[in-house]
């Protein structure tokens, strides 16, 4: 059997973290089995679905590298097919027209609430000849006795008694198909073999299976994954302040870090923390998915992001430090040399220009407030001496270190007498990576200019 999975978001808002994780699991499961991963936009709720939300979902998936295989299916465009299926079920006697008015239904619901019973429509077994001339819904006839067990890939065997399932509405009073019907028909027509989705849909699965059985179709495998909760344990939902996937892009997270984090959120492979996409594809399975809700932890995401930033090439890091701006060759060369050291200190992409901005030009950098006190008169006098004695040619960090060692000895100074003030004068900052490496990369002319600029005589 060739595996086909799908991600089926409702475009009523952005792609949220839970949706992104569902997409990832569907993607990984399909890739793991050499199958297909499809995207279906469940836009049947025309009042709440917007083109902006569809675009935002595509944008989020594209950022994460989780675009579906082939074109996305629009559920609303398939309404005629959904209606055909309901008609077929009517003809075969698996469904009936229910003429309950909204008022009658409301009264029955009220009663059902107090008795704890499900609603039973009197039209289920009524003679069609007695049908009034008014709008009707089409309901599926649920079996009255027995039970259904789903062998869920994550939840295990879950059993529900049919007596608890009411006759689900497949076509509304205005003739439009419901979500419950549309999902089943689309999954069948798209050849979906594995339905992987949030466990808030587990209850729906028992109802959906009854449509599948009535049509004589094959039931897909189900895997209902626990929802994601916030760090405080409360449910994370798009209506309760949860952020979009792309909000994390805008905050400076890398898509690889995000995917690694989402993968680890509710799935594990031993103690592995850093998992490449290729490894995830070879390892992913339902057995690694936990049954308890996962807690979203921004600190963990941030530390993974720092790891993925450190793994970038010096050239890519240099581009990020420059924030996409052009720079002369000697600047690119300097940034490429310093970038790995800068990356050690970055957690978010936006940290890189803050850490390395001083190296993107040759001008005198402005002094941070905490760097200013390091440049008192004594320090500046030492720096002027240093600038005057510094040889003219470029030096490697090792050569500069050797020269500096001799210079400190001659002047009866220690590294702590020159390091902090040199760092302040030439970078404008109190804290940076190794100052000797930085000084070597700036070269004597820039060092002198910056010392003069920040230590005016």
**Which parts of this chain interact with ligand GLU (CB under 6 A)?**
8-10, 42, 183, 197, 201
Do 436 and 452 contact (CB within 8 A), yes or no? no
Task: Give the separation between CA 295 and CA 348, rounded to whole angstroms.
Answer: 21
Q: Give the C-alpha distances (Å, rounded to integers) separating 186 from 177, 183, 204.
A: 12, 5, 15
- To the query of whether residue 264 is one of the catalytic residues in this protein, the response is no
Quote the least distance from Cβ 6 to ligand GLU, whole Å. 7
Task: Give the separation between CA 324 and CA 234, rounded to whole angstroms.
Answer: 40
Beta strands in 83-209 (DSSP E): 95-98, 137-140, 147-152, 156-161, 169-171, 194-198
Residues facing 445 on adjacent strands: none
Quote the least distance from Cβ 296 to ligand GLU, whole Å. 18
| Closest to 280 in 3D by CA, of 63, 70, 21 | 21
Residue 7's φ and ψ, nearest 5 degrees, are -110, 130
Task: Write down the number of H helices and E strands in the chain.
Answer: 17, 12
Task: Give the separation between CA 161 and CA 118, rounded to whole angstroms.
Answer: 12
Task: Give the separation between CA 171 and CA 84, rounded to whole angstroms.
Answer: 10
Quote the least distance from Cβ 195 to ligand GLU, whole Å. 6
Nearer to ligand GLU, 53 or 424 (CB): 53
Token look-up 């210079």 returns 407
Do 225 and 198 contact (CB within 8 A), yes or no? yes
Quote the least distance from Cβ 153 to ligand GLU, whole Å. 14
Residues facing 171 on adjacent strands: 138, 177
Nearer to ligand GLU, 10 or 120 (CB): 10
CA angle 249, 253, 256 (to 5 degrees): 100
Nearer to ligand GLU, 183 or 343 (CB): 183
Quote the least distance from Cβ 10 to ligand GLU, whole Å. 4
Name the 3-class secondary structure at 137.
strand
Quote the least distance from Cβ 211 to ligand GLU, whole Å. 13
Quote the least distance from Cβ 7 to ligand GLU, whole Å. 8
Tokens coding 121: 């429509």
Quote the least distance from Cβ 435 to ligand GLU, whole Å. 53
β-strand pairing of 36-41 with 73-74: parallel
Nearer to ligand GLU, 139 or 224 (CB): 224
Do 203 and 92 contact (CB within 8 A), yes or no? no
Nearer to ligand GLU, 192 or 437 (CB): 192
Catalytic residue among 118, 141, 235, 238: 238
Task: Give the separation between CA 348 and CA 371, rounded to whole angstroms.
Answer: 23
Tokens coding 389: 């004695």
Nearer to ligand GLU, 81 or 330 (CB): 81
Nearer to ligand GLU, 237 or 268 (CB): 237
Nearer to ligand GLU, 195 or 343 (CB): 195
Q: Exposed, middle or buried by CB within 10 Å (0-12, 13-18, 19+), for 250?
A: exposed
Residue 230's φ and ψ, nearest 5 degrees, are -75, 175
Name the 3-class secondary structure at 418.
helix
Which residues are known to be catalytic?
Answer: 238
């Amino acid at each position: 059997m060739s595996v086909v999975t799908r991600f089926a978001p409702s475009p009523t808002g952005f792609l949220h973290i839970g949706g992104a994780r569902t997409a990832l699991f569907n993607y990984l499961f399909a890739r793991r089995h050499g199958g297909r991963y499809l995207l279906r936009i469940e836009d049947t709720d025309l009042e709440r679905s917007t083109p902006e939300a569809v675009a935002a979902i595509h944008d989020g998936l594209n950022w994460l590298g989780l675009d579906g295989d082939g074109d996305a299916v629009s559920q609303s465009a398939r309404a005629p097919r959904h209606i055909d299926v309901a008609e077929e079920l009517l003809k075969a006697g698996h469904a009936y027209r229910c003429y309950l008015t909204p008022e009658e239904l409301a009264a029955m619901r009220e009663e059902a609430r107090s008795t704890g019973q499900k609603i039973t429509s009197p039209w289920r077994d009524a003679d069609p000849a007695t049908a009034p001339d008014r709008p009707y819904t089409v309901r599926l006839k649920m079996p009255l006795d027995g039970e259904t067990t789903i062998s869920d890939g994550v939840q295990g065997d879950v059993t529900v008694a049919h007596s608890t399932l009411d006759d689900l509405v497949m076509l509304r009073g205005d003739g439009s198909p419901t979500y419950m019907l549309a999902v089943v028909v689309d999954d069948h027509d798209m050849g979906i073999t594995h339905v992987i989705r949030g466990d808030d849909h587990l209850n729906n699965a028992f109802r959906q299976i009854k449509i599948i059985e009535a049509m004589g179709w094959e039931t897909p495998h189900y895997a209902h994954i626990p929802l994601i909760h916030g760090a405080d344990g409360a449910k994370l939902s798009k209506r309760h302040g949860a952020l979009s996937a792309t909000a994390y892009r805008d905050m400076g997270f890398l898509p690889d870090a995000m995917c690694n984090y989402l993968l680890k959120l509710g799935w594990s492979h031993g103690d592995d923390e850093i998992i490449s996409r290729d490894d995830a594809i070879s390892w992913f399975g339902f057995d690694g998915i936990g049954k308890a809700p996962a807690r979203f932890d921004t600190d963990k995401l941030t530390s993974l992001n720092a790891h993925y930033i450190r793994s970038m090439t010096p050239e890519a890091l240099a581009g990020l430090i420059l924030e996409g701006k052009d720079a002369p060759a000697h600047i690119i060369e300097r940034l490429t040399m310093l970038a790995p050291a800068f990356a050690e200190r970055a957690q978010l992409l936006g940290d890189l220009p803050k850490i390395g901005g001083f190296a993107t030009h040759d001008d005198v950098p402005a002094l941070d407030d905490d760097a200013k006190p390091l440049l008192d008169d004594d320090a500046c006098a030492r720096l002027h001496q240093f600038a005057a004695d510094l040889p003219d040619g470029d030096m490697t960090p090792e050569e500069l270190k050797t020269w500096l060692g001799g210079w400190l000895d001659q002047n009866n100074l220690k590294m702590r007498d020159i390091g902090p003030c040199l760092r302040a004068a030439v970078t404008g900052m109190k804290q940076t990576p190794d100052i000797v490496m930085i000084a070597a990369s700036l070269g004597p002319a820039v060092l002198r200019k910056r010392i003069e600029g920040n230590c005016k005589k």
